[in-house]
A and B are shown apart, each in its own frame.
Chain A
Amino acid sequence: MTKKDVSFVRHDTIPPSPPPASETGLVKWMRQNLFAGWFNTALTVLAIYFIVKFCLFAFPWFYNGVWDAGSIKECREILKAAGKQTGACFAVLVDRWDHLLFGFKYPADQYWRPTLAFVLMLVAAAPALFYMYVPRKFLLFTALYPFIGFWLVWGGSLWVPLTILVAIIATAYVFRAVEQLQVGPRQVLAGIVGLVAGVGLAYLLYLGAKELWFISGSMGSGGVLSMLFGLLFKAASIFMFVFFIPMGIFVGYAIYSDAEDGGLVTVVTALFAIYVMLAYLLGPISGAINSVIPIELEAVPSRDMGGYMLCLILGSVCVSLSIPLGIVLALGRQSDMPLIKGVCVVFIEFVRGVPLITLLFVANVMLAYFMPPQSNFDLILRVIIMITMFSAAYIAEVIRGGLAALPKGQYEAADSLGLNYTQATRLIILPQALKISIPGIVNVAVGLFKDTTLVSVISMFDIVGMIRGPIQQSTDWISIYWEVYLFAALVFFIVCYSISQYSQWLERQLATDHG
């Protein structure tokens, strides 16, 4: 037996040969993703053609940009002197930076205030946005921020927002104190509060009846329609007139009889407390303290707000106000009570059916007719009211979707635990429904923030209003458009894109289900 006879047998496997060059790395990736088939290749070539063409156009324009010039003429001369074909005039951004950000009326030496308010807003938002990383106690700052922000932007005496804050805190203490009262004193308190509330309500109803009487009297002669309305108003006013005293007695009695085990007396007392403090104590107290220890910033009236700052103010204020209002509307729309449901449905569908511009027109020219004569409502406040109503209707629809998406078992389970409506809604329904609605709410918020540019149509000077008015119509920068509009687009893009990225991240964080 010699080894020669045995044919060759391999004892170990051959190491795998490397794949062909066309099947590895970059080449493979390109074959799969860019040049798979003739159609795909054609698309790629077309895309590359457009990208190159765009870059050849945009890049020199951007690269040759002039950052230092006093006017568009000077800018073009600089470009001409350098022998450049195209070039941007970014000098307008440098020259009108303040106008773009703060408007043209905000006092220039006070720019640090809105800037600081903006930075603090980011700080205040962090505990709410990243609540899983930031300790809970920082939420205190978030709660305080509205007062700080208001004071920084609008200025005036520090004591005004501070006394409002104190009033709110005091109300909370009143609420707690009444809640913990013994039955005896509580009944006494309920008697007093019930009497005052009943008389107050009766008086309000009396005023309403008088008002209706006045309207029906002024309807005067006219067609069938006005007669019909006149009759209707007359009937309503008689109704109110007849009912105002029994209504008052009933409310007073209800509060009194509820004293033993109900929460009504606490709520009504707290409402009383805050009303008295805000209506009668706020002005004198803050004025008195201010005359002793004046801590004041230069007051800036609302009509001096402008630029991107105005968009940010409108956006943040209206979004934060419209979320609670939207929740109330959504719950109202789900209610079993036909009247409440009807009111909510009509409101939501009406607001969603008309464009925001018409609502802004209402704020601009129509709302004043519905306010008491001689009352002078700020335009910015009227705009905030209308935009808040607008976005609340959209948010209500989003939340309604969330409420409808909850399995019916959740409602039934809450009932079977013996929770009443408030408890079930607060503890079981809303936390889940809101979680489902987050992406929708964020979409509405982003849309609302973009829509704040519409106020330029009713001659407010937000960033678009600044560009179209004081910048494009000035002799220095007449009809400059690419640079300024691209800047406006950029600042909006930054904010909106980050918000939507945040919402996607939050959705992943909140995904507690498996899979």
Chain B
Amino acid sequence: MTTISDPSVGTTNQSFRLAMLLNDTRYRSLTFQFIALVAIIAFMAFVGGNLVRNLAEAGLNISYKFLGEPAGYDINQRPIEYDSQSSHGRAAIVGLLNTLIVAVLACITATVIGVVAGVLRLSNNWLVSKIMSFYVEIFRNVPVLIWILIIFSIMINALPGPREFKGDTPSASMILFDTVAVTNRGVFVPSPEFSNSFASTEEVPVTSTGMDWLLILAALVLSWIVATRVSQWASKTQEETGIRPKTWHMRLAIWAVPLAGVLLFLGLTWNIPELKGFNFKGGLQIRGSLLALWFALAIYTGAFIAENVRAGIMAISKGQTEAAGALGLRPNLIMSLVVLPQALRVIIPPLISQYLNITKNSSLAIAVGYMDVTGTLGGITLLQTGRAIETILLLMLFYLTVSLLISAVMNVFNNRMKLKER
């Protein structure tokens, strides 16, 4: 194939011929793109035409009006108000929040498990490092769906039912000073309640505690700002005088006093679960489906994060460890002050994709009946309304948005952590 790349050779005395569109590198990419464009349009036309015909045949149309219609099904875990008369749209939002709840819980737990396992895998202790590599290999090489189902089955079958807490000599008892009940219907934990809540007026009894939580959050943010100031002041003093003032009692007070004040003001009481009839009442019920999904995702992804952490630590050259040792640092200080901060740069990018994986894998909730967005919008709503295209598109849009958001946030963080080169 003759290729003319140098324009000074070709253009002066050669007029444009049709074949040059194909043989001349200057025009060839344009030709290819044109063909690709036509092919894409033709493909779209084919798919779209089929869609229109199929919809017409089935007597359907594309419409999102069903989102406003009453859903008519119940959801057992409701972060916001919802009943069976609420709309499909609200059911989707409940599911969406449930997805975010399990994803956040699993991300935090998986990070803790992963970092601990990754560090311990490099431990000098032969037994511990062997146990950790055993854990990593076992969990990485078996599908997460099987882990979810195993843990869910254990929750259902091996834990005691509420009935076994009854009687004079019960075969099961509550743990942690009779405040937490672990049953096969989920784990019942005490839930905080506010007797002076903002929302509890005469007309409206305590239904929404959103304002109270906002107040607590505000107190925490305030404490955090003051605490940062204090540690900045301590660093400044250290630079000037060489002696770091002791600030732990100040920081303790900064964190504890406002929080305690706010809680006292709100009148915090704990609602402790109690056995009434055949089930526990009161407190917060964490269902087996949420626990199974949460633990399985955390343990499974934790094994992957452990490998990332190990790789990150191994990537730090041995000279760093030795230099820190020569300065007289103890092994745990070497790890926390010298190795881990540098290893974080290597660890964070794969960590981002693990968080993305957790969010995407949380859609496996459908296998244990946890009502996440795949269970509500992509499950029952789809079955009830028959609007497959609309629901699945919305579902994909949601996951796509979450994925892009997570990677955007993490990329910003990643850029700030990056090695500052001069």
Contact = CB atoms under 8 A, between A and B. Distances in A.
A420 B3 contact: yes
Contacts, number: 216
Contacts of A496: 140-142
A172 interface: no
B19 A257 contact: yes
Interface stretch (A100-108, A289-297, A299-307, A368-376): A368-376
Interface string A251-274: 001100110011110000000000
Contacts of B18: 250, 253-254, 257
A353 interface: yes
12 contacts: A44-B128, A205-B38, A214-B49, A261-B2, A349-B404, A350-B396, A358-B374, A361-B382, A450-B141, A454-B364, A485-B146, A492-B141
Interface residues of A, number: 84
Contacts of A96: none
Nearest to A212: B45
Contacts of A243: 38
B143 A353 contact: no
Given A47-B127, A369-B55, A464-B149, A353 B50 contact: no
Given A209-B45, A253-B18, 18 more contacts: A34-B126, A43-B127, A204-B42, A208-B42, A214-B52, A215-B48, A243-B38, A336-B29, A337-B29, A343-B40, A354-B396, A354-B403, A356-B360, A450-B143, A464-B143, A479-B157, A485-B150, A492-B143
Contact of A208 (B45, B124, B127, B374): B45
B395 A358 contact: yes
A235 to B, nearest CB: 10
Contacts of B360: 354-356
A368 B19 CA distance: 41
Given A250-B18, A353-B404, A34 B388 contact: no
A340 B40 CA distance: 10
Nearest to A486: B150
Contact of B145 (A205, A208, A453): A453
A87 to B, nearest CB: 15
A314 interface: no
A33 B146 contact: no
A263 B1 contact: yes
Interface residues of B, number: 70
Interface string A458-498: 00000010011000000000010110011011001100110
A373 B400 contact: no
A283 interface: no
B224 interface: no
Contact of A262 (B23, B46, B389): B23
A497 B41 contact: no
Most chain A Cβ neighbours within 10 Å, of B49, B54, B56, B395 = B49
A258 B18 CA distance: 11
Contacts of A215: 45, 48-49, 52
A505 to B, nearest CB: 16
A33 B126 contact: yes
Contacts of B47: 370
B145 A456 contact: yes
A239 B40 CA distance: 13
A356 B32 CA distance: 32
Interface in B42-64: 42, 45-57
B366 A357 contact: yes
B49 A211 contact: yes
Interface in B326-365: 360-361, 363-364
A357 B363 contact: yes
B180 interface: no
A451 interface: yes
Nearest to B18: A253
B220 interface: no
A22 interface: no
B308 to A, nearest CB: 12
Contacts of A457: 364, 366-367
Contact of B42 (A205, A262, A340): A205
A337 B32 contact: yes
B142 A48 contact: no
Contact of B141 (A36, A44, A500): A500
Nearest to A51: B131
A236 B48 CA distance: 13
A59 B348 CA distance: 40
Most chain A Cβ neighbours within 10 Å, of B21, B50, B147, B364 = B50
A256 to B, nearest CB: 9
A451 B363 contact: no
A492 B146 contact: yes
Contacts of A233: 48
Nearest to A30: B126
Contact of A47 (B2, B53, B131, B144): B131
Interface string B13-26: 00000110111000
Nearest to B19: A257
Contacts of B131: 47, 51
A370 B388 contact: no
Contacts of A413: none
A357 B256 CA distance: 45
A340 B33 contact: yes
B46 to A, nearest CB: 6
B392 A258 contact: no
A33 B125 CA distance: 5
Contact of B51 (A47, A205, A369, A446): A369
Contacts of A43: 123, 125, 127-128
B211 interface: no
A362 B124 contact: no
B150 A481 contact: yes
A320 to B, nearest CB: 20
Contacts of A236: 41, 45
A469 B57 CA distance: 34
A343 B50 CA distance: 22
A387 interface: no
Contact of A493 (B50, B141, B153): B141
